[in-house]
Chains A and B, each alone.
Chain A
């Protein structure tokens, strides 16, 4: 998920070519306070005119407690991007307020309530504490994401390379997301020249269950994809698991072994996930 500063025409124009799965057109932190109107107009026109193809388009609006949030919603919701991303969410009440306003605007424009989804950003300690309830509150919320920079500031901890300070927050967010069967997206890695560090962090967040990561520079996309893309070996194994499973299922066998290792339902689920990630049709193996 590539962040694009909302007031930068060149990046808004070219953002979709770098292979990101999703574009985060930003009206919040990447836009100067005196350019919020300009960025809002620009994003509005770009969404209307530019074909972003298969890339998901998500707009990060400002919080409703700022003087900008309401105007952002009025401008963006009628355009129905794939998602809006709501920053600094701390409670269910805040989310409730957001959804009420969004749906009001949708009603005014005769738009459905089930098309555009909402990504929630957790960026404070209080937000982390309430994350499970927030994740559970509405079907419109289909991703929870952690804002590492703001959270570090809110917790008043020194940021460190291995971000051990936000370790618990990361895991709580993943748990809340997984418990509600929605995606958990990790925060950005700020040192764009440190590809090694980016890779290490990505390995880690993949292990603990995040389904993706936000980036601030197109150069960071390929290293992340590389880690999230299953290796040829993994794909081959997964293919074999699903194939054997289907064969055995036909014979009425649910649990069997490949190369001496037990294969049961969870193993098959994981194998299907690997094939899904690699774009392999796993329905008819």
Chain B
């Protein structure tokens, strides 16, 4: 076991202690401000070149089994394997692939999945036996998160945003040896899509970058169609192997209850207030662009915005992001001109993606990467986001739970907050007995300078950096409070909580989208 007791530390711009260097990972650059590195107009980091490949005409790419394909890819100790998480909880290719690699005796793997969830709990044993020694992901949930928080791995995991992942692959920080890309339809050359087939799951946005940069690319499908397969989400020019399997997973488990409008009176109340904030923010205008998170109060804001758009006869430009069938309904009603879809939050969305030319699949880089000439999040007017926790500086935690364990996802949270003109965070002021508004969040994912307003059932707090916004919301008669006052009010109700105890061991690094380190996650000490 390494000890981390004597690490030299830097304080980053928001006052978090970041080690200067971690053995096995390298130097860490502390977070220096949301737009500091972008302002120059170029990035100092070098782009890592994509591999040069060649292939003889009519050579066969198709393998009969996943085992055969993985063996052909010539896996090695220390390799990096990547996956996408479009199937969310229904995904079953990742665990099977790691099983195969483990059986072949491959050790020291770096796992680079665009996200991880409860369906990936079976890999815990590979963290324990050294099969997997590093993880890059935008989120972790369930027992896997608990295991990591309890310190099962020697090296900390890295949490990135969706845009940040693309940047990390461009710059070679994540250097993928083998990309295993599940697709619901593909042809023998590897042209592939998620929008058709029996396991259709919608957009394949997160996997585009993997296909372009991985040394070897494998498309896995349960629907091998006659050539050519289109739309061309993944293009044959990048694909080395094609594998036909019985099932890539259960696409009905993508949604897991996050895509229907909630009936919870509390969430609806918060959502209504959120919509009132938007209406009076000055950004709710003809041609506005909009993104809401899935689930709970966040998605429910869309319901009230939909009513307000109809009442005021306002039409929007584009809907962005994780797309729900609710968003598709708004597109079909003509309330928005376009949907840009990086990820589809329920299987039903795939039909629209396939059929409607105004419903457009975009890559994660096009969606949110900070290292290009402008991603779509930069064109966003309004985004509505959730939070596990928010602090007096408006820093938001969406990654660690009340007990300190990793149980959330960074996703596009910090990307959209940095891009949007108006970033609205909606959440209850406390959950159960746990306050959502604290003096200092346990882990910062999205820095407060990119968050404009917090909406809770007990009051609305505006970032002091936005006095004009506060003025117009006050004028509209909304219940505006200082965030310090709301924090005190909630603490009076729930009581002062005892703080989580952490050891010095760092189990996770939280990367900001530009690659700097915004915070670290420490090992939880169980009592």
Direct A–B contact in the complex, CB atoms closer than 8 angstroms: yes
Q: A217 at interface (Cβ–Cβ under 8 A)?
A: yes
Nearest 3 CB-CB pairs, A to B? A218-B265, A17-B457, A18-B269
Within A1-55, which residues are at the interface with B (CB < 8 Å)? Answer: 13-14, 17-19, 50-51
Q: A222 at interface (Cβ–Cβ under 8 A)?
A: yes
Give me 8 other A-B pairs in contact (C-beta within 8 A), A17-B458, A222-B272 excluded.
A14-B266, A17-B457, A18-B457, A50-B493, A51-B492, A217-B265, A218-B265, A219-B268
Q: How far is the CA of A13 from the CA of B268 in the complex (A)?
A: 17
Using Cβ atoms and an 8 Å threshold, which residues of chain B touch A222?
272
Interface size class of A (residues with CB under 8 A): 10 to 19
Using Cβ atoms and an 8 Å threshold, which residues of chain A touch B457?
14, 17-18
Residues B492 and A17 in contact, CB atoms below 8 Å apart: no
Within B468-495, which residues are at the interface with A (CB < 8 Å)? Answer: 477, 489, 492-493
> What are 22 sample pairs from A and B whose C-beta atoms fall under 8 A apart?
A13-B493, A14-B266, A14-B457, A17-B266, A17-B269, A17-B457, A17-B458, A18-B265, A18-B269, A18-B457, A19-B269, A50-B493, A51-B489, A51-B492, A217-B265, A218-B265, A218-B268, A218-B269, A219-B265, A219-B268, A222-B272, A279-B477
Using Cβ atoms and an 8 Å threshold, which residues of chain A touch B269?
17-19, 218
Give the Cβ gap from A192 to chain B, nearest Cβ, in Å. 10
Interface class of chain B by DSSP: helix
Within A27-85, which residues are at the interface with B (CB < 8 Å)? Answer: 50-51
Q: How far is the CA of A219 from the CA of B272 in the complex (A)?
A: 11
Give the Cβ gap from B160 to chain A, nearest Cβ, in Å. 36
* B residues apposed to A, CB below 8 Å: 265-266, 268-269, 272, 457-458, 477, 489, 492-493
Q: Which of B265, B268, B489 has the most chain A CB within a 10 Å cutoff?
A: B265
Instruction: Identify the closest chain A residue to B492 (Cβ).
Output: A51
* A residues apposed to B, CB below 8 Å: 13-14, 17-19, 50-51, 217-219, 222, 279
Q: Which of A17, A18, A218, A219 has the most chain B CB within a 10 Å cutoff?
A: A17
Instruction: Identify the closest chain B residue to A11 (Cβ).
Output: B265
Instruction: Identify the closest chain A residue to B269 (Cβ).
Output: A18
Give the Cβ gap from A235 to chain B, nearest Cβ, in Å. 13
Instruction: Identify the closest chain A residue to B272 (Cβ).
Output: A222
Instruction: Identify the closest chain A residue to B429 (Cβ).
Output: A17
Give the Cβ gap from A278 to chain B, nearest Cβ, in Å. 10
Q: How far is the CA of A219 from the CA of B262 in the complex (A)?
A: 12
Instruction: Identify the closest chain A residue to B268 (Cβ).
Output: A219
Give the Cβ gap from B527 to chain A, nearest Cβ, in Å. 27
Using Cβ atoms and an 8 Å threshold, which residues of chain B touch A17?
266, 269, 457-458
Q: How far is the CA of A258 from the CA of B457 in the complex (A)?
A: 43
Using Cβ atoms and an 8 Å threshold, which residues of chain B touch A13?
493
Using Cβ atoms and an 8 Å threshold, which residues of chain B touch A279?
477
Instruction: Identify the closest chain B residue to A218 (Cβ).
Output: B265
Give the Cβ gap from A51 to chain B, nearest Cβ, in Å. 7
Q: How far is the CA of A279 from the CA of B477 in the complex (A)?
A: 10
Q: Which of A13, A14, A222, A279 has the most chain B CB within a 10 Å cutoff?
A: A14
Give the Cβ gap from B265 to chain A, nearest Cβ, in Å. 4
Using Cβ atoms and an 8 Å threshold, which residues of chain B touch A14?
266, 457
Give the Cβ gap from A48 to chain B, nearest Cβ, in Å. 13
Give the Cβ gap from A263 to chain B, nearest Cβ, in Å. 28
Give the Cβ gap from A79 to chain B, nearest Cβ, in Å. 18
Q: How far is the CA of A217 from the CA of B489 in the complex (A)?
A: 25
Give the Cβ gap from B476 to chain A, nearest Cβ, in Å. 12
Q: How far is the CA of A19 from the CA of B459 in the complex (A)?
A: 12
Using Cβ atoms and an 8 Å threshold, which residues of chain A touch B266?
14, 17
Using Cβ atoms and an 8 Å threshold, which residues of chain B touch A217?
265
Q: How far is the CA of A18 from the CA of B489 in the complex (A)?
A: 17
Give the Cβ gap from B214 to chain A, nearest Cβ, in Å. 49
Instruction: Identify the closest chain A residue to B432 (Cβ).
Output: A10
Using Cβ atoms and an 8 Å threshold, which residues of chain A touch B268?
218-219
Give the Cβ gap from B357 to chain A, nearest Cβ, in Å. 36
Q: How far is the CA of A218 from the CA of B273 in the complex (A)?
A: 14
Q: How far is the CA of A222 from the CA of B307 in the complex (A)?
A: 14
Using Cβ atoms and an 8 Å threshold, which residues of chain A touch B272?
222
Using Cβ atoms and an 8 Å threshold, which residues of chain A touch B493?
13, 50
Q: How far is the CA of A28 from the CA of B268 in the complex (A)?
A: 28
Instruction: Identify the closest chain B residue to A220 (Cβ).
Output: B265
Give the Cβ gap from B175 to chain A, nearest Cβ, in Å. 50
Using Cβ atoms and an 8 Å threshold, which residues of chain A touch B265?
18, 217-219
Q: Which of B268, B269, B457, B458 has the most chain A CB within a 10 Å cutoff?
A: B269
Q: How far is the CA of A222 from the CA of B272 in the complex (A)?
A: 10
Give the Cβ gap from A124 to chain B, nearest Cβ, in Å. 32
Using Cβ atoms and an 8 Å threshold, which residues of chain B touch A218?
265, 268-269
Q: How far is the CA of A17 from the CA of B268 in the complex (A)?
A: 11
Q: How far is the CA of A221 from the CA of B477 in the complex (A)?
A: 18
Q: How far is the CA of A226 from the CA of B471 in the complex (A)?
A: 25
Give the Cβ gap from B459 to chain A, nearest Cβ, in Å. 9
Using Cβ atoms and an 8 Å threshold, which residues of chain B touch A219?
265, 268
Q: How far is the CA of A13 from the CA of B432 in the complex (A)?
A: 11
Give the Cβ gap from B96 to chain A, nearest Cβ, in Å. 42
Q: How far is the CA of A279 from the CA of B458 in the complex (A)?
A: 21
Instruction: Identify the closest chain A residue to B270 (Cβ).
Output: A17
Using Cβ atoms and an 8 Å threshold, which residues of chain A touch B489?
51
Q: How far is the CA of A18 from the CA of B272 in the complex (A)?
A: 10
Using Cβ atoms and an 8 Å threshold, which residues of chain B touch A18?
265, 269, 457
Give the Cβ gap from A119 to chain B, nearest Cβ, in Å. 24
Instruction: Identify the closest chain B residue to A14 (Cβ).
Output: B266
